[in-house]
């Protein structure tokens, strides 16, 4: 029967031809001719490249060779041949970004800066063909190169930034600019680009303010010039709420003086008796985060394979079923009364390393396996994903603690922990079901998405978890709103598990009564700021809650005293 009848050879068995040989005269560069001959000699499908693929790989090979030999002539010659002379290649930002990075690391900074200028020239010649080349990643690495080159071309830096739409501006674009300004004490340069950041609504963090404040301290002898710049920084800090470490408070003190005071548990400043304010998200702000969860986290999982159901084929019927289960989850939430969402897995696996081997042995016995036949490392090393059930008793102790404090808890577990509850967990589960205080996340979803959605969907509610929320999926949410919400709505806990009595003693730590953000409070004759700060941290990486340039964790809910710097400026500037 013929192929037209549908009975021909399967599609995957049809012969695929090798890519055509590349003309040896592609380039006048001798090293490229050798690579062309090597490519043409390939007999394996994946090894013989198309012309555009060959050009990209050859550019990288030449750039690597240049990094070793410190001679970049062949790289520039070949690139110009392909782009301008033979017009066979439109530069790719991902390839040239790698070259810039490699050359900067290998002390070829000025050559890398020349390459940046070359791409700007290409843009003027090629027009629309280069319309998508200057993306945020390429511009970022270009700025790092240009600020390390000699001399620094300020006009070119401004031009590179101008290629980006306002929506593409990110904090990391400005960090190398501020570092350069600090290295040469150039205040005008620093604040030229500080204003660009502000105009494009870029929110700077503790690290960037640290660079700018260090710069102002170096030139503080010129007080009439410096003070207005400090005020600009304070106004932006009050607007964008970076969490401040002691390093910047020390620098502000050097510049403006101020009073370092204690804050009481109610949020009152020990220096002036005024309340440090608490800021929260508006309904619209929460709506942005809820939409992010659905569009960026849930929607991709509806059509993709789930880690929890890896063998399940996802067709239209399955997609509809998944959307239905998520809608059911949302409807269940709307019918419940709660103000404290409990991350069941985080609490239930608390101290797992201390009790995993015991739980693993119990699991093996329940499966009819002789524990002695299982290698020791498989009984003591926690795998991922975890293969033993969480301890519902720990969660129940936390639930009781929350109830005693007048809160209305809601426990969120992945559906598999509810459907396959162990005998030890059934008693607690039955109680929660009767009290209507437990909900299962849909089977295809990560439970993180669900407890986060549950908390945001209910105004004024809190999430009870020790999760620092640094996983990739959290970084996909609106940074402006998510980081503010995390500081104000996360309750942490500590559990002391008594092995002899099987009882866990829980201590919960609610968020402070005030926000750890710079706050401006005007009065009739002066403007003053309250700057709550972390006195155990010099400079904070706000995205990860880690000390900047280290792996040391910082938990904003504990481990530091309540301190505030009160600054007063009389209007003489």
More confident residue, 214 or 474: 214
Please give the average per-residue pLDDT across 380-393, as a whole number. Answer: 83
Q: For 434-473, what is each residue's pLDDT tens digit?
A: 999 999 999 999 999 999 999 999 999 999 999 988 887 8
- Those residues whose C-beta lies under 8 Å from the C-beta of residue 488, and which sit 6 or more positions away, are 278, 279, 280, 281, 511, 515
Handedness of CA 149, 153, 157, 160 (dihedral sign): negative
| Secondary structure, 3-state, 339-356 | CEEEEHHHHHCCCHHHHH
pTM for the whole thing?
0.79
Q: How far is CA 83 from CA 49, 64, 68, 87, 544, in A?
A: 19, 20, 25, 5, 42
Handedness of CA 129, 131, 132, 133 (dihedral sign): positive
Which two three-digit tokens encode residue 430?
A: 């039955």
Q: Where are the beta strands (DSSP E) in 198-313?
A: 244-245, 259-262
Residues in the chain: 573
More confident residue, 380 or 436: 436
Q: For 476-514, what is each residue's pLDDT tens digit?
A: 888 888 988 998 999 999 877 666 665 667 889 988 888
Supply the DSSP string of 283-312, one letter for each residue.
HHHHHHHHHHIIIIIIHHHHHS-BTTBTT-
Interhelix angle 187-199/154-162, nearest 10 degrees: 10
3-state secondary structure of 434: helix
Alpha-carbon torsion, ordered 157, 169, 212, 255, to 10 deg: 140
Q: For 544-570, what is each residue's pLDDT tens digit?
A: 666 665 556 655 555 445 677 777 654
Angle at 190 (CA atoms; ends 185, 194), nearest 5 degrees: 160
Supply the DSSP string of 111-128, one letter for each residue.
HHHHHHHHHHHHHHHHGG
* CATH number assigned to the domain covering 283-309+316-349+390-509: 3.40.50.11980
Supply the DSSP string of 258-290, one letter for each residue.
-EEEEB-TT-BBTTT-PBPP-----HHHHHHHH
Q: For 32-62, what is each residue's pLDDT tens digit?
A: 999 999 999 998 877 889 999 999 999 999 9
In this predicted structure, the answer to whether residue 423 has a pLDDT above a threshold of 60 is yes
Containing H/E element for 134?
A: none
Distance of alpha carbon 386 from alpha carbon 496, whole angstroms = 21
Minimal CA–CA distance to 170: which of 135, 146, 145?
A: 135
Distance of alpha carbon 470 from alpha carbon 493, whole angstroms = 18
Distance of alpha carbon 458 from alpha carbon 454, whole angstroms = 7
Which two three-digit tokens encode residue 110?
A: 């000025």
Please give the average per-residue pLDDT across 321-330, as a whole number. Answer: 96
Which two three-digit tokens encode residue 475?
A: 């970084």
Which residue is it, tokens 């750039």? 63
Distance of alpha carbon 274 from alpha carbon 37, whole angstroms = 78
Which residue is it, tokens 């598999």? 416
Q: What is the residue extent of each domain of the chain?
A: 17-89, 283-309+316-349+390-509
Q: For 76-102, what is each residue's pLDDT tens digit?
A: 999 999 999 999 999 999 999 999 999
Burial of residue 273, with CB atoms counted within 10 A of its CB: 0-12 exposed, 13-18 middle, 19 or more buried: exposed
């Amino acid at each position: 029967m013929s192929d037209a009848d549908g009975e021909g050879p399967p599609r995957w068995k049809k012969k695929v031809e090798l890519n055509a040989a590349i003309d040896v005269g592609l380039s006048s560069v001798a090293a490229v001719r050798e690579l062309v001959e090597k490519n043409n000699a390939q007999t394996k499908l994946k090894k013989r490249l198309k012309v555009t693929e060959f050009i990209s790989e050859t550019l990288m090979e030449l750039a690597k060779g240049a990094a070793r030999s410190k001679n970049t002539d062949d790289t520039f010659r070949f690139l110009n041949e392909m782009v301008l002379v033979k017009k066979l290649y439109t530069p790719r930002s991902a390839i040239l970004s790698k070259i810039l990075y490699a050359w900067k690391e290998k002390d070829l900074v000025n050559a890398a800066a020349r390459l940046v200028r070359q791409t700007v020239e290409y843009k003027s010649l090629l027009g629309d063909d280069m319309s998508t080349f200057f993306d945020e990643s390429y511009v970022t690495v270009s700025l790092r190169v240009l600020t390390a080159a000699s001399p620094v071309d300020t006009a070119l830096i401004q031009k590179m930034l101008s290629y980006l739409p306002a929506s593409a501006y990110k904090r990391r674009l400005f960090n190398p600019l501020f570092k350069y300004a600090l290295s040469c004490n150039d205040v005008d340069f620093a604040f030229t680009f500080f204003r660009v950041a502000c105009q494009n609504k870029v929110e700077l963090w503790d690290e960037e303010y640290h660079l700018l404040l260090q710069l102002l301290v170096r030139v503080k002898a010129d007080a009439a010039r410096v003070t207005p710049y400090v005020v600009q920084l304070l106004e932006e800090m009050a607007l964008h709420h970076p969490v401040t470490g002691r390093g910047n408070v020390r620098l502000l003190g050097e510049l403006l003086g101020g009073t370092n005071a204690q804050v009481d548990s109610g949020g009152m400043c020990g220096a002036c008796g005024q309340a440090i304010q608490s800021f929260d998200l508006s309904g619209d702000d929460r709506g942005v985060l809820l939409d992010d969860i659905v569009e960026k986290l849930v929607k991709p999982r509806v059509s993709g394979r789930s880690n929890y159901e890896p063998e399940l084929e996802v067709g239209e019927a399955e997609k509809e079923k998944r959307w239905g289960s998520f809608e059911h989850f949302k409807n269940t939430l709307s019918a419940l009364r709660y103000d404290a969402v409990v991350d069941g897995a985080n609490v239930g696996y608390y101290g797992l390393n201390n009790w995993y081997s015991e739980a693993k042995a119990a699991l093996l016995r329940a499966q009819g396996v002789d524990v002695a036949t299982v290698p020791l490392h498989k009984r003591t090393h926690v795998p991922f994903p975890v293969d033993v059930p969480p301890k519902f008793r720990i969660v129940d102790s936390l639930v009781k603690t929350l109830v005693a404090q007048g809160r209305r808890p809601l426990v969120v577990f992945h559906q598999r922990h509810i459907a396959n509850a162990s005998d030890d967990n059934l008693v607690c589960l039955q109680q929660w079901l009767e009290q209507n205080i437990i909900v299962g996340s849909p089977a295809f979803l990560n439970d993180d998405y669900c407890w986060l959605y549950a908390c945001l969907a209910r105004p004024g509610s809190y999430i009870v978890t020790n999760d620092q929320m640094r996983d990739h999926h959290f970084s996909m949410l609106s940074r402006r709103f998510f980081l503010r919400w995390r500081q104000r709505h996360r309750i942490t806990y500590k559990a002391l598990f008594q092995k002899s009595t099987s009882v866990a003693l829980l201590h919960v730590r609610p968020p402070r009564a005030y926000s750890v953000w710079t706050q401006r409070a005007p009065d009739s004759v002066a403007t003053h700021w309250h700057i709550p700060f972390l006195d155990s941290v010099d400079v904070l990486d706000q995205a990860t809650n880690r000390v900047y340039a280290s792996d040391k964790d910082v938990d904003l809910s504990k481990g530091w005293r309540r301190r505030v710097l009160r600054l007063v400026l009389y209007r003489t500037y």
